[in-house]
Amino acid sequence: MTRLCEQDICSISEMLKNYDNYLLSKTSGRLRDIAIRASGRDNIDTDTINSAKKTAVVPLTSGEGIIRGFSETVCSILRYLGADAFVTQKTDVAGLSQAVDEGAEVIFMADDLTFSAINIKSGRTADNGEFTGKGYCAALDFMSGGVSGKNALIIGAGPVGCGAAQFLVAKGACVHIYDIDMEKSEQLKRSTPEIVIEKNLPDAFGKGVELVVEATPSKSVIEASYLRGTEYIAAPGIPLGLSAGAVNKMDGRIIHDALEIGVASMLFAVI
Ligand code: 2YH
């Protein structure tokens, strides 16, 4: 799992409005619309959505420690979406206590392996991997005029790929999975029998793929030669999993960010 670095996130807060406009122009949906669709709670009432939930982001020092700007960036995304969000001054267990003492209903925190949102009133939780996968597929749903009946290829059967598979299968797409580790693909198929396992990436692209989810932590997984240029690509992986040639060929049909869609989707999944 990729650990974000300061450089990946340092301009997110100041660029949020621009990114939202970019999403609107590319997908016809705003960050908020995409995240609500991803949460699977499209019927969530407007009062719930618009009530500014007190939301704390707790910095965690465990493992590799604090990523400078991480908590503040998560907080600014949450505020942008209307949450009454703050970063606790204290870290770790003391920070969690502070969050509860100050009345937070929703808590966001991340260590090296897991990034969770927890609603301490309802008990709802959201994992960043799962909701990043769902969020990017909701973006594809907007972008492609609906994923139902379309051929989708997911590359990578980790938490993001599994979240993507759940969303796409539920929306009626024909889902194919490729992972360099066949056992991971087989594990996903056991929980989601509708998916088709692909053994070879260039061959998988040769089967009329319309939607692609690149959910690996590797660079240049997708080469320009695999693409026809008519696909829509969701690329949540850090670093970007397309070669420079593939990016040129697909310019304007790729969705890629470091945090925004995942964090937004987590919020609407737990409020
Ligand atoms: O970036 C990460 C991990 N790769 C988990 C991501 C899950 N998709 N964690 C962030 C660590 C943040 C740090 N503990 C802090 O600043 O609080």
pLDDT digits (tens, 9 = 90+) for 170-218: 999 999 999 999 999 999 999 999 999 999 999 999 999 999 999 999 9
Centre of ligand 1 to C-alpha 113, Å, is 7
pLDDT digits (tens, 9 = 90+) for 146-160: 999 999 999 999 999
Say how far apart CA 94 and CA 74 lie, in whole Å.
19
Residue type, 25: S
Centre of ligand 1 to C-alpha 144, Å, is 31
68 within ligand 1 shell (Cβ under 6 A): no
Give the CB-side neighbour count of residue 212, counting CA atoms within 13 A.
Answer: 33
Q: Of 116, 118, 112, 114, give the one whose Cα is nearest residue 55.
A: 118
DSSP string of 40-85? T-TT--HHHHHS--EEEEE---STT-PPTTHHHHHHHHHHHTT-EE
112 within ligand 1 shell (Cβ under 6 A): yes
pTM for the predicted model, two decimal places: 0.96
Residue 1's pLDDT band (boundaries 50, 70, 90)?
low
Angle between helices 31-39 and 260-270 (to 10 degrees): 50
Centre of ligand 1 to C-alpha 117, Å, is 12
Centre of ligand 1 to C-alpha 110, Å, is 5
pLDDT digits (tens, 9 = 90+) for 127-138: 999 999 999 999
Q: Of 200, 219, 222, give the one whose Cα is nearest residue 211.
A: 222
Residue type, 242: L
**DSSP β-bridge partners for residue 107:** 56, 118
Say how far apart CA 82 and CA 228 lie, in whole Å.
39
Give the DSSP H/E element, type plus range, for residue 252: none
